[in-house]
Amino acid sequence: MSLHVLPVHGLPEIEAGADLGELIAKAGSFEDGDILLVTSKIVSKAEGRLLRAADRAAAIDAETVRVVARRGPARIVENRNGLVMAAAGVDASNTAPGTVLLLPEDPDASARALRARLQQLTGRRLAVVVTDTFGRPWRNGLTDVAIGAAGLPVLEDHRGRTDTHGNELALTVTATADELAAAGDLVKGKASGIPVAVVRGLPHLVTAEDGDGSRPLIRAAADDMFRLGTSEALRRAVTLRRTIRAFTAEPVDPAAVRRAVAAAVTAPAPHHTTPWRFVLLETPEVRTRLLDAMLAAWQRDLAELDGWDPAKIARRTARGNVLRDAPYLVVPCLVMDGSHAYPDGRRAGAEREMFTVAIGAAVENLLVTLTGEGYGSAWVSSTMFCRDTVREVLELPAGWDPMGAVAVGRPAEPPRERPERSADAFIAVR
């Protein structure tokens, strides 16, 4: 098999309303089975997607469905066609000053229409791929990819085939249309004024039907492990962190909890100390023994110290069921190692407050990271009301001060949506 990638020379500047198929047919010479790689810019120009816009950012906003990542003025976004790319494809190059080009409104429809027109004019069996330039995660440099297609399958599924050593391929699916787009760009270039290329030698790829277009190339959200940029993912995890009180019976992965603890111990702390310890209750027997002892201590104190009747005690202690129903518990403890000793109570109290703030920051890191791992959590204060009992059951050192307990598990149901909370009510500016 031999493969040729040929530039199509002689196309004029494309204007709105131009018959793009006729212009390409006149400029090139085509054979059955040819695949045309057409730069999206000339498709956009023919379709009148030129916009006079002094504010490119506003044009990007109008084309954006979702911001994936942002760094300074640069934005990676998802546009209305599901394409994730820089600036929603809004382009100020190869267009007059003061104007920007938007991507074709429906690149697959554009590819189908252009293919039909070219086949009508040339009498040849052709495929059309509309291309645009993308950056790529993990790699430097730009390359052309397919954003619209007609007349060929955009993916080739190798799963179930065997390689030359007899190994069955389990994951390999080739992005054929993207490979073709990149090959075409080798002869089109970025500043050569050659917006169309022909790939010749792959007639078996050209189908009678238009096919599914470029949509199969777009990864579904559920399968996208990199759906958000770093800071966006962190903000999303913080936003999604909710108190979850009902869990499934699915076991919790201890490695995920350890990763969350590793994030927790990056929290700021006074005097370069590490004032946190995390007790992981991974066995049901230990959890039950602790919760039974805590319940007895609570019932005793509520009756003797507060004078509550049994019904009121039962209602109050029922709040702890979230811990009993969770498949995994974490008990964060405060240690005062490295704290400064002060002779007066005021400064000694402030010292302890600093350490308490530090463990609060650590627990927040823990909860947010668990959310990113797909787990729900509830930070419950109950161990703080019976610290001696907790230390005794868990055999903790005297200096370990339990600061509540965190219930961890898969949420039994999605949390209810909550409205965004404006920061304005919580800010004072001086």
Per-residue pLDDT reduced to its tens digit, 6-31:
999 999 999 999 999 999 999 999 99
DSSP 8-state class, residue 412: S
Rounded CA separation 10/238 (Å): 55
SS3 350: helix
Q: Is the pLDDT of residue 228 over 90?
A: no
Q: Which two tokens stand for residue 375?
A: 């787990």
Which range among 74-78, 210-214, 344-348, 396-400 shows the weakest confidence by mean pLDDT? 344-348
What does the pLDDT read at residue 262?
96
Q: Is the pLDDT of residue 229 over 90?
A: no
Choose the most confident range, by mean pLDDT, from 48-62, 106-120, 343-357.
Answer: 106-120
Rounded CA separation 336/61 (Å): 50
What does the pLDDT read at residue 34?
98
Note the pLDDT tens digit of each residue in 33-84: 999 999 999 999 999 998 887 778 888 999 999 988 888 888 899 999 999 9
DSSP 8-state class, residue 250: P
305 contacts: CB under 8 Å, gap ≥ 6: none
Note the pLDDT tens digit of each residue in 152-189: 999 998 888 888 888 888 778 999 999 999 999 999 97
Delineate the domains of the chain, giving CATH numbers in brackets.
Answer: 4-49+103-223 (3.30.1330.100), 230-426 (3.40.109.10)
Which range among 99-113, 136-150, 218-232 shows the weakest confidence by mean pLDDT? 218-232
Residue 103: pLDDT band with limits 50, 70, 90: very high
What does the pLDDT read at residue 189?
75
With both helix axes pointing from N to C terminus, report the angle between 284-304 and 387-394 in degrees, rounded to the nearest 10.
150
Rounded CA separation 179/173 (Å): 12
Q: How many CB atoms lie under 10 A from the CB of residue 117?
A: 17
Q: Which two tokens stand for residue 6?
A: 């040929």
Rounded CA separation 6/17 (Å): 26
Rounded CA separation 309/204 (Å): 83
What does the pLDDT read at residue 73?
82
Using a pLDDT cut of 70, give the percent of the chain over it: 99
Using a pLDDT cut of 90, give the percent of the chain over it: 67
Nearest 5°: the CA angle 385, 403, 266 is 175
Tokens 């949390």 identify what position?
A: 415
Rounded CA separation 213/338 (Å): 64
Cα–Cα distances in Å, from 26 out to 118, 194, 413? 10, 15, 61
What does the pLDDT read at residue 237?
77
